[in-house]
Amino acid sequence: MRIGITGGSGSPLEVLNAITRISGVPMLEGYGMTEVTSYTTLMPRDGELRFGSVGIREPYAQIKAVIVDEKGSYVRDAEIDEVGVIVMRGTCAMAGYAQDQHNAGVFLENGWLNSGDLGRIDADGYIWLTGRSKDLIIRSGHNIDPALIEEPLHEHPAVELAAAVGRPDDYAGEMPIAYVQLKPGFSVSEEELAAFARERIQERAANPAEIILIEEMPLTGVGKIFKPALREDAARKVFEAVLSDLQDKAGKVTIEMTNRAKTGMTAIVRVGAQADEECLAEIRKRLGAFTVAHEIDRHD
């Protein structure tokens, strides 16, 4: 065996270092999308290994980081080592989706495909992904990259998988929290993991407000962590706590999280028929303090 290649999802640095050490061959991380015919970058086989980077661009693929506005429109190219949205074009890139309604916001001007990934490109052309633009946790206007939390947690010997998401907060907008799946046979408390993370997370605002141990991390069909399920779980727990004292007035209150085309993640609050207008107004007032959309369903 001469090399190992990994892709599909970002690999924790500790994992890359450990496999390289145990196998004796370098792990080459790559990056791409189905929309650009798989890999568009790869760590150079005979070049300098920079773990944490997804390598340099492949031949005939053009890649750069750009700054976009709140509407996703191009503003300017990012500077060296400045984090921006990674865009790609070239003979490898698709012309668009078959169903035109999916093409909104996919391409910037001049045919650059918006990957939706955040990253920076250093002076030597190595590309460093920093997260998904939609995965950013925004705490009181402070943008927090989930990797700032996940990478330190992956350094703990008991942690198998870690995923950081934003929990709705009526003051800060979102608070960072982390879900953790432990390795088989290992045991550690949430408090111990929180202390471990605090010692290693450089940004104070990124310290997770809570760490939740779960039996099994939700994954997509290709093995990536499915963060929408974690965000929904976090939101549901917050809203259940906020409305817990209204059970008598509203009957049994249950909350179902769903995704709407126009409002995105939305909480469906189901209440009993005895919930009067005053009670419904109180529910709207309490949930209106959050940025997550909600709907109330009163039933018999």
- If 0-12 CB within 10 Å is exposed, 13-18 middle and 19+ buried, where does residue 124 land? exposed
Task: Name residue 61's beta-bridge partners.
Answer: 90
Cα 50 versus chain centre, distance: 23
Does the CA dihedral 16-17-19-24 come out positive or negative?
A: positive
Query: Could you count the other beta carbons within 10 Å of the beta carbon of residue 233?
Result: 17
pTM over 0.75: no
Determine the pLDDT at residue 178.
97
Task: Look at the domain 136-230 and name its fold.
Answer: GMP Synthetase; Chain A, domain 3 (3.30.300)
CATH of domain 4-130: 2.30.38.10
pLDDT per residue over 162-193, tens digit each?
Answer: 999 999 998 888 899 999 999 999 999 999 99
Alpha helix segments (H runs only) across the chain: 13-23, 147-154, 190-200, 227-242, 247-250, 277-287
Determine the pLDDT at residue 212.
97
Q: Write phi, then psi, for 154 (nearest 5 degrees).
A: -70, -15
Q: Which residues of the chain have pLDDT under 70?
A: 8-10, 12-14, 70, 131-134, 141, 261-263, 300
Ordered by start, the domain boundaries in the chain are: 4-130, 136-230, 243-298
Q: At what angle do helices 277-287 and 227-242 cross, to 10 degrees?
A: 130
Residues 68 and 75 sit within 8 Å (Cβ to Cβ): yes
pLDDT per residue over 97-143, tens digit each?
Answer: 998 888 888 999 889 999 988 889 999 999 988 766 667 787 886 77
